[in-house]
Amino acid sequence: MYVNNEIGTMQKIEEIGTICKDANILFHTDAAQAIGKIPIDVEKMGIHLMSVSGHKVYGPKGIGALYVRKKAPRVRIRPQIDGGGQEFGVRSGTLPPHLCVGLGAAVDLCKTEMDRDHKHIRHLSLYLEKELRSKLDAVYFHLLLLNNFFFVHIYMCH
């Protein structure tokens, strides 16, 4: 899991990718919480398989995607259900076009809005810090800069 959906913890995916590459292990990450919010470079991070979910990027529910590396190394997956030859023999059945288009549009929008959204979140984080400091005596902040994104951890003591 690249980003934890409850507390926002981010794994060091590039380091994990390097470890997997050195051990000749295929690397899958669940990027549902990361996609559209932070930059992801599957080559640089050594990701072989990556799953995402549409509703996590304000796309439609019921659609997701699985990135499967095609080269260096090529990853081959087996179908879980035998049937038609759709999706290069990996999945039988026809995907709903409206869900596919909705996921693509949502990811496209996230890509264009990522920097603006990050600036807005940073502004809100700084505002929260200022307000808490002005109203509470014992508040400690841990500010982490990762991939040009700020993450704030707040500790309140009594």
52 pLDDT more than 80: yes
pTM, entire model: 0.77
Mean pLDDT, rounded, of the chain: 85
**Is cis: bond before 39, omega within 30 of 0?**
no
| Domains of the chain with CATH codes | 13-156 (3.40.640.10)
* Terminal C-alpha separation, the chain: 33
**Residue 70, SS3 per DSSP:** coil
Among 57-66, 75-84, 105-114, 140-149, the least confident range: 140-149
Look at 155 and 111; give whichever has higher pLDDT. 111
Mean pLDDT along residues 80-106: 84
Question: Per DSSP, which regions of the chain are E strands?
Answer: 28-30, 49-53, 64-68, 139-146, 149-156
